[in-house]
Amino acid sequence: MAVEQWNLDLTHSSISFWVRHLMVSKVHGKFTKWSGTLAFDEKTPTASRTQVKIDTASISTEESQRDGHLRSGDFLEVEKYPHIEFASTSIAPAGDGFTVTGDLTIKGVKKPVKLDVEYAGRVKDPWGGERVGFTARTTISRKDFGLTWNQALDAGGVVVGDKVEIAIEVEAVKAAAAAA
C-alpha cells in the first residue's frame, strides 16, 4: 500500500480548544471554517503528511463579545493574520497511534509542535467509499505565539491562562483515483 490522498470530511471533523478563565474554569471554543490535506500510508505512516489552514475569524466560543475580543489585536488580530496554519514535518509511530510533529503558525509566529494522534481505523462507508479517522491532541503556550494579552486579578492570578489545550477530530474520505 502506498501513500493515499484523503479528503477531509469537515461535517464530521472539528478543531476545538480550551483555556483557563479566572484560574478556576475552562472556556471552550472551536474554529468553524478550515481546510486541509491528508496523504496517509497506513503501512508506512512515516511517509504520511498533512496540512491545515484555519480561518481565524471563524473562532467561536458561543459568546459574541468574547469572540470579538479574540478576533481583535489583543489576540488573533484576524484582519492582519487571517489564518492559522499547520504543516507536518514528521510522523512517527507511538504506542497505538502516532506522534505528528509539525510547524504551527499563529500571528506570523512559526513554532514546532507535537500532536499525540490516535488512529481510529479505516472503514467502508455505506456509499461505497473508504474513510479513516483520527483524534489529535496537543497543548501550546499562547504566549509563544505572541498572544500575550492578560489582566491581573485582585486576589492573584490572571484572567486568561497561558496553556491552550487543542483537540482535533478528523474523518477523511479516500480521494477518488484519477482517471487514467
Cell 475569524 appears where? 57
Long-range contacts of 79-84 (CB under 8 A, 24+ apart): 80/107, 81/56, 81/106, 81/107, 81/108, 82/55, 82/56, 82/57, 83/53, 83/54, 83/55, 83/56, 84/31, 84/53, 84/54, 84/56
The confidence score (pLDDT) of residue 34 equals: 97
Q: Which amino acid is at 124?
A: K
> CA-CA distance, 139 to 5, in Å (whole number)?
28
The confidence score (pLDDT) of residue 103 equals: 98
Residues 6+ apart with CB under 8 A from 151: 158, 159, 160
Which residues partner with 39 through β-bridges?
5, 49
- Element (DSSP H or E) covering residue 70: helix 64-71
> CA-CA distance, 57 to 82, in Å (whole number)?
7
Tell me: the pLDDT tens digits for 9-24?
A: 999 999 999 998 888 8
The confidence score (pLDDT) of residue 177 equals: 54
Q: Which architecture characterizes domain 4-174 according to CATH?
A: Beta Barrel (2.40)
Extract the C-alpha cell encoding 180: 487514467
pTM of the model: 0.91
> CA-CA distance, 87 to 38, in Å (whole number)?
10
With a cut of 50, which residues of the chain have pLDDT below it?
178-180
Rg of the chain's alpha carbons, rounded to an integer?
18
